[in-house]
């Protein structure tokens, strides 16, 4: 008889980010099998990313913000109860009762109830135009109220308050921040940092009122609200969002008789256990050492501690560093350790650049040897290095001020990975130490990507990716592994370096490039790469004499070779718009040459089965009817998919077809490191699936939202929202810059998605380059794109009028016979290549 | 089959120099045999002739491949699945048991001659 194992039951109350992390960590352990797991979630959806909540108004959907998915929980074997909150804990019988009346026994209870927003008891705060900022439902309500409004006020000038102000601004409201204290973010920033942050935020159009106490909120006759401040001042507004701090959600624990702190919070020990040893509390509801940790990273550490203990391993939570780095309304802010220098014997070093709006302050001990804290506003480039000095209690260099002074040669004095102890945390999202990374490299990982896969480092917020690369490269070098980024054996350079050489030295042919910078005779890697670079920069016809031998299979005959050596033909149908007359021509050509006809995913028509020698005739007929090449064969712009937009659709808010045509006609013919696909949707319903494209454009009431670097295919990636509410001119300008920057810097055959993931600094860096022109190259990028656009030619139209180019389009150079070995059979009333078995059968006499 | 096949080996004129495409390949038909011809003006020899049939892809496409140097040897990469075939003798570099037929080839003034069993 098989022994039946009795599983223990874990009930988790709360499914926020920390609760989700607990469940995710548990799911990945072999001990997972020992437990039945049930989760109560008061909200209608599983955990989502509250840290990036304001992006909900920047175009990200609830789906985008989701961390836990219902299906994933099912796969993990968890019993997830959405929309059902736990209302009572019977500790004696170890039973949890829910609002829906469910009664569930537990062996272990995990309280991950989080926190709720504190609303100051100002008379009038219960008005229905007063909101809090915590859940997606809160945001939906704020959005609805903002529709007819002009002004929005946030009460609270802390980290979350400024996030909320950003949200109001994105809703198109005139945003105000009202703060009781004399400065913004007073917990994290000193006076100097706070002052600069205020200047920067006000420059962005947010009005800041500090040292301002609200005494009364009154509804006026027109339905708007008037806030009366102490000192007889007032402010009229359409809505108010309270973001004046959080309070631990401890009511359930309180009613169950679990010990709470004096000012709330469920008291836990260094095992995250409450006064009842069967009950854990993790995240913002837990009070450790009389402190609530209102950041996600310490909450994650608590979650991991609880999981380890449940699995029978030793683990402790001993508090956490509250250092933080973030971007508020686009302003970089960083705070490390004792930012105010409150400890005795502190000394400070301050750097202020009023010109560029940068404030940096280091707090050291009196000897200037150890870093106790730091404040960074306007530029957080030094944050990672400073944090490592602080967390690892490392001795500061002889001239510590160099850590925050701008380096004269342009390069910041990065902290050598050698200097870090093995215990140094590199990735705080996934708690990966330098020792873990070194271990992964010694265990056989040979690249940053492999280390990422193996350790999960830099796969959370990605803020540590530069440091990770540094550690990996240092360790590889120490092991004597040479990091080889050479294009191929013939060129000891990366694609980016070759692009630069070709551009600067105005190299026009492969022979010249090989002679100057390469060796040997070239191969199928460097030849097409060079051909693509020449085309991106000089845009000569790809079949011009010096280039003809460089092209890859499909470019060689400007058609897509299929498995039997015949070709498919794809004329451009920009935006998917086609006249009946042209559609008839396609049908006539397909019929005449007996071409298998299929609609593509990119709203075009693909004609299969053309013999090599038929291609010029087919294209003569197509170009006569006004068709142009569709570049389906090239590493270049393929299609711009569109929905029908405001012209026809009753939901459309912009002319998406018109924009798709403009975009497709602008970038057609642009050769790039890999193929590029785009789409334009006429409203947020997103029928053109723009978020799965390299460049995605989605119409808004006010213009266009631009998404970048998505793709479908083997490893799908949602495009990232890059910029919002752009006018037509700015939209094109940004696409020009993003594309040309990609063309310049990507590796060979690297799609935009992988390019972005490998771009140091990621999306923020791309924005800095493209929107803020950090590198000062935007004008040049636009000029280069202008050159490509200005020198466009339909490659097929040119080719069919050039006897020299047509020379290659002969099946045999010595006869007009056809290739008898190409055999077709009929299926569903069209031709298709015969299989090998069918060919054998046909050859045998019956 | 009733015909009696007579086998003889001789140099045949297959095409003109101007039919070739420099640094690339074309295809000629001799009897039933498709022959891929590569003309590399900077190399010695300048001309190469191997079977046009790609036995891995089962298609006559070798003449449309890209010329690539691999470890010092001149090859053509199959346009379909990218295996490399040595231009001098048709040996497949990836699959040691696959070798394409190769043919002696030379210029005769403006003409290209190939030596082939007929």
3-state secondary structure (DSSP) of residue A42: coil
Is B44 in the A-facing interface, judged by CB distances under 8 Å?
no
Q: Do A549 and B79 touch (CB under 8 A)?
A: no
Residues A648 and A781 in one domain: yes
Q: Is the pLDDT of residue B3 over 70?
A: no
Range of the domain at A523: 495-552
The Cα of B51 is separated from the nearest Cα of chain A by a number of Å equal to: 13
Going from N- to C-terminal start, the domains of chain B cover: 10-117
Mode of pairing for the β-strands spanning B59-60 and B53-54: antiparallel
Q: What are residue A699's DSSP bridge partners?
A: A704
Q: Do B27 and A807 touch (CB under 8 A)?
A: no
Residues A671 and A754 in one domain: yes
Is B21 in the A-facing interface, judged by CB distances under 8 Å?
yes
Closest to A616 in 3D by CA, of A629, A603, A635, A606:
A629
- Which chain A residue lies closest to B27 (C-alpha atoms)? A812
Which fold does the domain B10-117 belong to in CATH? Rieske Iron-sulfur Protein (2.102.10)
Residues A651 and A539 in one domain: no
DSSP code per residue over A43-86:
SSS--B-STTGGGGGGT--HHHHBSS-HHHHHHHT-EEETT--E
Residues A784 and A650 in one domain: yes
Is B70 in the A-facing interface, judged by CB distances under 8 Å?
yes
Residues A90 and A52 in one domain: yes
Is B17 in the A-facing interface, judged by CB distances under 8 Å?
no
Q: Which residue is associated with the tokens 């450790």?
A: A288
Is A548 in the B-facing interface, judged by CB distances under 8 Å?
yes
3-state secondary structure (DSSP) of residue A846: coil
Q: What are residue B49's DSSP bridge partners?
A: B37
Query: Which of B15, B65, B77 is nearest residue A813 as measured by Cβ atoms?
Result: B15
Residues A475 and A536 in one domain: no
The Cα of B72 is separated from the nearest Cα of chain A by a number of Å equal to: 7
Report the alpha-carbon distance of residue A622 to residue A100 in Å, rounded: 67
Q: CA separation (Å) from A187 to A166, A351, A497, A727?
A: 19, 21, 46, 39
DSSP code per residue over A222-265:
TS-EEEEETTTEEEEESEEEE-S-EEE--HHHHHTT--B-TTS-
CA A339, distance to chain mean position in Å, is 30
Confidence (pLDDT) at A843: 75
Report the alpha-carbon distance of residue A209 to residue A155 in Å, rounded: 10
Answer with the one of A483, A503, A530 that is the final residue of a domain. A483
Q: Do B77 and A524 touch (CB under 8 A)?
A: yes
Report the alpha-carbon distance of residue A390 to residue A395 in Å, rounded: 9
Q: Which tens digit of pLDDT belongs to each residue from B93-113?
A: 999 999 999 999 999 999 999
Query: Which of A528, A563, A813 is nearest residue B26 as measured by Cβ atoms?
Result: A813
Q: Do B37 and A836 touch (CB under 8 A)?
A: no
Instruction: Determine the residue among A511, A524, A525, A563 to mutate to test chain B binding: the one whose Cβ has the most chain B Cβ atoms within 10 Å.
Output: A524
Q: Do A813 and B19 touch (CB under 8 A)?
A: yes
Residue A387: inside a domain, yes or no? no
Confidence (pLDDT) at A552: 92
Q: Do A807 and B21 touch (CB under 8 A)?
A: yes
Answer with the one of A208, A229, A244 that is the final residue of a domain. A244
How many secondary structure helices (H) and strands (E) does chain A include? 26, 39
Tell me the backbone φ, ψ of residue A265, rounded to 5 degrees. Answer: 100, 135
Report the alpha-carbon distance of residue A234 to residue A246 in Å, rounded: 26
Cα Rg of chain A, angstroms:
31
Is A828 in the B-facing interface, judged by CB distances under 8 Å?
no
Chain A contacts of B24, Cβ < 8 Å? 548-549, 556, 808
Is B77 in the A-facing interface, judged by CB distances under 8 Å?
yes
Confidence (pLDDT) at A415: 61
Instruction: Determine the residue among B18, B68, B84, B110 to mutate to test chain A binding: the one whose Cβ has the most chain A Cβ atoms within 10 Å.
Output: B68
Q: Which tens digit of pLDDT belongs to each residue from A181-218?
A: 999 998 889 999 999 999 999 988 899 999 999 999 99
Q: Do A527 and B68 touch (CB under 8 A)?
A: yes
Residues A755 and A643 in one domain: yes
CB A455 within 8 A of CB A440: yes
Instruction: Determine the residue among A515, A615, A803, A812 to mutate to test chain B binding: the one whose Cβ has the most chain B Cβ atoms within 10 Å.
Output: A812
Is A521 in the B-facing interface, judged by CB distances under 8 Å?
yes
Q: Which tens digit of pLDDT belongs to each residue from A821-841?
A: 999 999 999 999 999 889 888
Is B106 in the A-facing interface, judged by CB distances under 8 Å?
no
Report the alpha-carbon distance of residue A67 to residue A87 in Å, rounded: 25
- Which chain A residue lies closest to B17 (C-alpha atoms)? A813
Report the alpha-carbon distance of residue A87 to residue A679 in Å, rounded: 48
The CA angle A686-A144-A653, to the nearest 5 degrees, is 35
Q: Do B21 and A521 touch (CB under 8 A)?
A: no
Is B74 in the A-facing interface, judged by CB distances under 8 Å?
yes
> Tokens in use for A376?
């960074």
Q: What is the CATH number of the domain that holds A42?
A: 3.50.50.60
- The sign one gets for the Cα dihedral A666, A669, A671, A676 is positive
Closest to B66 in 3D by CA, of A488, A512, A752, A618:
A488
Closest to A196 in 3D by CA, of A354, A406, A361:
A354
- Which chain A residue lies closest to B61 (C-alpha atoms)? A565
Centre a 10 Å sphere on the Cβ of residue A395 and count the other Cβ atoms it contains.
Answer: 12
Chain B contacts of A565, Cβ < 8 Å? 57, 59-61, 64, 80
> Tokens in use for A170?
């994105």
DSSP code per residue over A343-387:
STTEEEEEEEETTTTEEEEEEEETTS-SEEEEEEES--TTHHHHH
pLDDT > 90 in chain A, percent: 67
Report the alpha-carbon distance of residue B21 to residue B27 in Å, rounded: 11
Is A527 in the B-facing interface, judged by CB distances under 8 Å?
yes
Inter-chain CB pairs, A–B, below 8 Å: 97
Low-confidence ranges of chain A (pLDDT < 50): 1, 409-413
Chain B contacts of A613, Cβ < 8 Å? none
Is B26 in the A-facing interface, judged by CB distances under 8 Å?
yes
Centre a 10 Å sphere on the Cβ of residue A79 and count the other Cβ atoms it contains.
Answer: 14
Residues A76 and A152 in one domain: no
Q: Do B64 and A553 touch (CB under 8 A)?
A: yes
CB A716 within 8 A of CB A732: no
Residues A509 and A625 in one domain: no
Residues A92 and A132 in one domain: no
Report the alpha-carbon distance of residue A259 to residue A276 in Å, rounded: 8
Confidence (pLDDT) at A600: 94
Q: What are residue A560's DSSP bridge partners?
A: A568
- Which chain B residue lies closest to A525 (C-alpha atoms)? B68
- Which chain B residue lies closest to A551 (C-alpha atoms)? B66
Is A563 in the B-facing interface, judged by CB distances under 8 Å?
yes
Q: Is the pLDDT of residue B1 over 50?
A: no
| Chain A 610-639, residues with CB within 8 Å of chain B CB atoms | 612
Residue A381: inside a domain, yes or no? no
Average pLDDT value for residue range B39-51: 94
Q: Do B34 and A551 touch (CB under 8 A)?
A: no
- DSSP state at residue A647: G
- For A187, residues 6+ apart whose C-beta sits below 8 A from its C-beta are A158, A159
The Cα of A523 is separated from the nearest Cα of chain B by a number of Å equal to: 4
Q: What is the CATH number of the domain that holds A823?
A: 3.30.70
Closest to A193 in 3D by CA, of A338, A352, A324:
A352
Query: Which of A520, A556, A815 is nearest residue B64 as measured by Cβ atoms?
Result: A556
Q: Which tens digit of pLDDT belongs to each residue from A780-826?
A: 999 999 999 999 999 999 999 999 899 889 999 999 999 999 999 99
Residues A593 and A670 in one domain: no
- Structural domains in chain A (count): 6
> Tokens in use for B63?
């003449």
Q: Which tens digit of pLDDT belongs to each residue from A61-117?
A: 888 888 888 989 999 999 999 999 999 999 999 999 999 999 999 999 999 999 999
Q: Cα dihedral angle (A689, A694, A698, A702), rounded to 10 degrees?
A: 170
Report the alpha-carbon distance of residue B64 to residue A731 in Å, rounded: 41
Residues A131 and A240 in one domain: yes
**C-alpha neighbours within 13 Å on the C-beta side of residue A274:** 27
Residue A728: inside a domain, yes or no? yes
Residue A2: inside a domain, yes or no? no
CB A822 within 8 A of CB A608: no
- DSSP state at residue A189: -
Q: What are residue B85's DSSP bridge partners?
A: B76, B92
Sheet holding B111-117, edge to edge: B9-16, B111-117, B105-108
CB A631 within 8 A of CB A640: no
Question: Secondary structure of A758-774 in the HEC alphabet?
Answer: HCCCHHHHHHHHHCCCC
- Which chain A residue lies closest to B84 (C-alpha atoms)? A524
Tell me the backbone φ, ψ of residue A766, rounded to 5 degrees. Answer: -60, -40
The Cα of B36 is separated from the nearest Cα of chain A by a number of Å equal to: 9
Average pLDDT, rounded, for chain B? 90
């Amino acid at each position: 008889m098989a022994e039946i194992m009795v599983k223990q039951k874990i009930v988790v109350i709360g499914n926020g980010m920390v609760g989700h992390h607990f469940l995710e960590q548990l799911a990945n352990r072999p001990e997972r099998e020992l437990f039945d797991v049930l989760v109560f979630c008061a909200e209608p959806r599983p955990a989502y990313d509250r840290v990036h909540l304001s992006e909900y108004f920047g175009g990200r959907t609830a789906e985008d913000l989701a961390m836990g998915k219902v299906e994933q929980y099912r796969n993990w074997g968890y019993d997830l109860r959405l929309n059902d909150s736990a209302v009572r804990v019977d500790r004696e019988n170890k039973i949890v009762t829910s609002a829906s009346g469910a009664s569930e026994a537990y062996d272990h209870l995990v309280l991950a109830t989080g926190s709720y927003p504190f609303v100051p008891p100002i008379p009038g705060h219960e008005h229905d135009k007063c909101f809090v900022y915590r859940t997606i439902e809160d945001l939906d309500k704020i959005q609805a109220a903002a529709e007819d409004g002009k002004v929005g006020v946030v009460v609270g000038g802390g980290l979350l308050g400024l996030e909320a102000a950003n949200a109001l601004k994105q809703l198109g409201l005139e945003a105000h921040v009202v703060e009781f204290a004399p400065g913004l973010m007073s917990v994290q920033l000193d006076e100097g940092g706070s002052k600069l942050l205020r200047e920067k935020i006000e420059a962005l159009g947010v009005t800041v009122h500090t040292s301002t106490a609200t005494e009364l909120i009154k509804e006026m006759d027109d339905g708007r609200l008037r806030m009366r401040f102490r000192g007889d001042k007032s402010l009229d507004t359409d809505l108010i969002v309270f973001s004046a701090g959080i309070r631990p959600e401890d009511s359930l624990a309180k009613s169950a008789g679990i010990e709470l702190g004096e000012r709330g919070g469920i008291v836990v020990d260094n095992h995250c256990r409450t006064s009842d040893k069967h009950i854990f509390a993790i995240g913002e509801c837990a009070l450790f050492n009389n402190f609530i940790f209102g950041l996600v990273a310490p909450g994650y550490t608590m979650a991991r501690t609880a999981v380890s203990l449940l699995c029978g391993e030793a683990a402790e939570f001993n508090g956490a560093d509250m250092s933080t780095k973030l971007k508020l309304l686009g302003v970089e802010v960083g705070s490390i350790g004792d930012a105010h220098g409150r400890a005795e014997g502190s000394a400070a070093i301050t750097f202020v650049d009023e010109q560029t709006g940068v404030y940096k302050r280091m707090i050291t001990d009196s000897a200037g040897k150890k870093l106790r804290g730091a404040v960074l506003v306007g530029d957080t480039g030094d944050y990672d290095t400073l944090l490592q000095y602080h967390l690892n209690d490392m001795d500061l260099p002889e001239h510590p001020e160099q850590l925050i002074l701008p380096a004269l040669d342009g390069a910041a004095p990065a902290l050598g990975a050698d200097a870090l102890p093995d215990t140094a945390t590199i990735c705080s999202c996934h708690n990966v130490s330098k020792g873990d990374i070194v271990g992964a490299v010694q265990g056989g990982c040979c690249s940053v990507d492999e280390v990422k896969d193996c350790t999960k480092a830099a796969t959370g917020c990605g803020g540590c990716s530069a440091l990770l690369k540094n550690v990996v490269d240092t360790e590889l070098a120490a092991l004597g592994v040479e990091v080889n980024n050479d294009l191929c054996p013939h060129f000891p350079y990366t694609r980016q370096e070759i692009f630069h050489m070709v551009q600067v030295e105005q190299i026009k042919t492969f022979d010249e490039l090989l002679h100057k910078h390469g060796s040997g005779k070239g191969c199928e890697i460097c030849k097409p790469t060079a051909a693509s670079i020449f085309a991106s920069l000089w845009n000569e016809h790809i079949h011009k004499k010096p280039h003809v031998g460089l092209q890859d299979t499909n470019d060689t005959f400007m058609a897509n070779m299929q498995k039997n050596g015949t070709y498919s033909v794809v004329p451009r149908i920009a935006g998917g718009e086609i006249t009946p007359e042209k559609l008839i021509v396609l049908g006539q050509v397909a019929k005449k040459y007996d071409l298998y006809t299929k609609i593509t995913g990119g709203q075009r028509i693909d004609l299969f089965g053309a013999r090599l020698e038929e291609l010029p005739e087919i294209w003569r007929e197509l170009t006569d009817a006004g068709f142009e090449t569709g570049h389906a064969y090239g590493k270049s712009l393929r299609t711009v998919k569109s929905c029908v937009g405001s012209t026809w659709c009753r939901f459309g808010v912009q002319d998406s077809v018109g924009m798709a045509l403009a975009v497709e006609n602008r970038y057609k013919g642009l050769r790039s490191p890999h193929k590029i696909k785009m789409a334009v949707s006429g409203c947020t319903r997103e029928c053109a699936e723009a978020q799965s494209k390299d460049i995605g454009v989605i119409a808004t009431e006010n213009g266009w939202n631009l998404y970048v670097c998505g793709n479908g295919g083997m490893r799908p990636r949602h495009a990232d929202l890059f910029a919002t509410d752009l006018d037509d001119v700015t939209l094109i300008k940004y696409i020009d810059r993003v594309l040309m920057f990609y063309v310049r810097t990507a590796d060979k055959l690297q799609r935009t998605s992988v390019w972005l993931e490998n771009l140091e600094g990621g999306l923020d860096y791309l924005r800095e380059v493209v929107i803020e022109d950090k590198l000062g190259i935007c004008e040049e990028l636009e000029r280069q794109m202008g050159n490509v656009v200005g020198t466009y030619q339909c490659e097929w139209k040119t080719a069919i009028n050039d006897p020299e180019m047509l020379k290659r389009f002969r099946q045999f150079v010595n006869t007009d016979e056809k290739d008898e070995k190409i055999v077709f059979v009929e299926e569903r009333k069209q031709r298709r290549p015969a299989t090998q078995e069918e060919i054998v059968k046909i050859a045998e006499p019956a | 089959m009733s015909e009696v096949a007579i086998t003889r080996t001789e140099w045949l004129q297959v095409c003109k120099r101007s039919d070739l495409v420099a640094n690339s390949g074309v295809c000629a038909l001799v009897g039933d045999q498709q022959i891929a011809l590569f003309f590399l003006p900077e190399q010695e020899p300048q001309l190469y002739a191997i079977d046009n049939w790609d036995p891995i892809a089962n298609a006559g496409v070798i003449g449309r491949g890209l010329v690539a140097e691999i470890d010092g040897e001149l090859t053509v990469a199959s346009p379909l699945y990218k295996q490399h075939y040595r231009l001098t003798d048709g040996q497949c570099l990836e699959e040691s048991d696959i070798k394409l037929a190769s043919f002696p080839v030379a210029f005769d003034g403006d003409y290209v001659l190939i030596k082939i069993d007929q």
